[in-house]
Structure formats: structure tokens, C-alpha cells
Amino acid sequence: MTPLRLCIVTLLAMTAFAGNSLLCRLALKQTGIDAASFTSIRLISGAIALWLILSLRKGARRDGGSWLAALALFVYAAAFSFAYVSLSAGTGALLLFSAVQATMIGWGLWKGERLRVWQIVGLVLALSGLVALLFPGLSAPPLDGSILMLGAGIAWGIYSLRGQAPGDPVCATAGNFLRAVPLAAVLSVVLLPWMKLDFSGVEYAILSGAIASGVGYAIWYTALPGLKAASAATFQLSVPVLAAAGGITFLSEPITLRFLFASVAVLGGIALVVLEKRRGLTSLR
């Protein structure tokens, strides 16, 4: 893949990931669909899209995934939806990304990795930004939505760690989406008295599952082999920025000084951790 094509494919994947935040927020803010129904329709649509993609690939396996990974995927998708009942698109994406990266960094430390000086500075900076964002005040995001989104990020971090095993990532993702469908169905049944369906909301959920999730993941896994580990993580820093820009454009969401400060601190801190890790690995070669 040429560098230009790789850049375009990667940008498409990041746009799809940011699109998930926008579509979910649009559905839950501007339509009558409930969060549980959005989750179920998103997972069903994602499973269908991924299995259609696999059917077009000759010789592709269709027995990937695991129930543990599917559980993590379901927890992420459900908490993500319920969090966006109250959070703005940009704030939700920033909290999600922070929790994902914190989970993966924490796992590395648990496994014996050691942080270099600049990585520690980056981690402190990112944590400071997160505290500043969540500190009580008039412009602070709702606490319940924030906790749910942090939980979604932890679940997605666990899912990402599970996905580092060898094998076809698209096949594994398709299997995990398929296994997550009955879990989402149980959630919808439990919350049946509060079910609300709306035509536009259903459309947004299908777009979120089939395009932003299913096709988005397939595009990302196409680009990933051509990206270095640090480059892949750095590209993901663009997701909260794209989500915030989309929130301003399509949802008329305001951007506060608190959010701007937190974004610079969190994303800058994570960039320090990721890039310094890559530099340390290079120096050992």
C-alpha cells in the first residue's frame, strides 16, 4: 500500500470511529430511540456487515472470536450508548479514548513494563487533564454519563488487549459481534418497558453498526499492518478531535475552555507516553 493510500485509509477509519460518537449522540438527543435499542440494533447491524465482508473474501475463516471478548464488546457498546444520553460527542470521545489508553498502559505496567521519565510526565499530564475535565463545576460533564463512558473505555481496552492474539482480526471481530447480539437482546428484554423506537433513530443505529463499526473496523485492520505501533496509537488521537468538530458542526455543541484544556493535556500526555515508548524500543535495537 502506498503512503498516500495508507494515509487516506487510516483517515477514513478514524472518521468512522468518530462517527460512532456522532451517530449515537444524534440518535439519543434528536430522536426517540432508547439507549438499549440503539445498542442492540448497532450490534446486529455490525455483525451483519462484518459477515457480509467476510463472505466476499475467498477462503476467510468464520469461526473467530470468543465469548469473553464478546462480553467486553457488549459492555463497551451498552455503556457507550447510555453515556451518550447526557454527554456531548467530543467529551464522550475524549473520556472513552482516555480510559482505553489508560487500560492498555496499566496492563503493560502490570506485565512488567517500566515507564521512562517523559512517559511519566505524559501520564501525569493526561491524568491532570482528566481530573480538570471531571472536577465539579458549571461546565463539568454529568457524573453518571462520565462514569459510564469511562467504563465503556475500560471494556474497550480489555477488548483491544484480547484482540492482540494472532489470527484474522476481521474474522474475530465478526464472531465477537455475533456473540454480543444475544447479550444485547437480553438487555433490551430487561428494559422492555422503557423501549422506544424511532425511524430516524433506527437509521442512525444501523449506520453506526454497519458503517461506522463494521466497515470502519474492516478499514482499520486493512491499514494497521502498514502502520508502526506508535503511528497507529498517534493516529487514534485524532478521534476525540474529529468527534468534537462533528459535535460543533452537526449538533451545535459548545466547546468550553475546560474541554480545550483537558483535550490538550490528555491527548498531549498520551502522545508523550506512546511516542516515548516507541523511542525506547528503537534505542534497544
Grid cell for residue 11? 483517515
Q: What does pTM read for this prediction?
A: 0.87
Residue 142 has pLDDT above 60, yes or no: yes
Total Cβ atoms within 10 A of residue 238: 18
User: What average pLDDT is seen over the chain?
Assistant: 86
DSSP string, 63-113: ----HHHHHHHHHHHHHHHHHTTTS-HHHHHHHHHHHHHHHHHHHHHHTT-
Residue 80 has pLDDT above 90, yes or no: yes
Question: In the chain, how long is the greatest CA-to-CA distance?
Answer: 60
13-17, 41-45, 47-51, 227-231: least confidently modelled range? 227-231
pLDDT of residue 285: 43
Residue 36 has pLDDT above 50, yes or no: yes
Query: Which residues span the domain enclosing 258?
Result: 3-283
Q: How many domains does one find in the chain?
A: 1
Q: Summarize the confidence of residues 251-264 as an average pLDDT.
A: 86
Place of cell 471481530: 173
Grid cell for residue 174? 465478526
What are the C-alpha distances in Å from 250 to residues 19, 27, 90, 241, 268?
11, 12, 12, 14, 26
Residue 9 has pLDDT above 50, yes or no: yes
Q: Summarize the confidence of residues 65-93 as an average pLDDT.
A: 94
The answer to whether residues 98 and 126 touch, using CB atoms and an 8 Å cutoff, is yes
Which of 8-13's residues contact partners 24+ apart within 8 Å by CB, and which partners?
Answer: 9/219, 9/222, 9/223, 10/220, 10/223, 10/227, 10/235, 12/216, 12/219, 13/216, 13/217, 13/219, 13/220, 13/223
Residue 61 has pLDDT above 70, yes or no: no
Q: What is the pLDDT of residues 42-60, one digit of tens each?
A: 999 999 999 999 888 766 6
pLDDT of residue 283: 44
Q: What is the pLDDT of residues 187-204, one digit of tens each?
A: 999 999 999 999 999 999
Residue predicted with more confidence, 170 or 78: 78
Q: From CA 120, how far away is CA 126, in angstroms rounded? A: 10
Q: Summarize the confidence of residues 129-155 as an average pLDDT.
A: 86
The answer to whether residues 188 and 195 touch, using CB atoms and an 8 Å cutoff, is yes
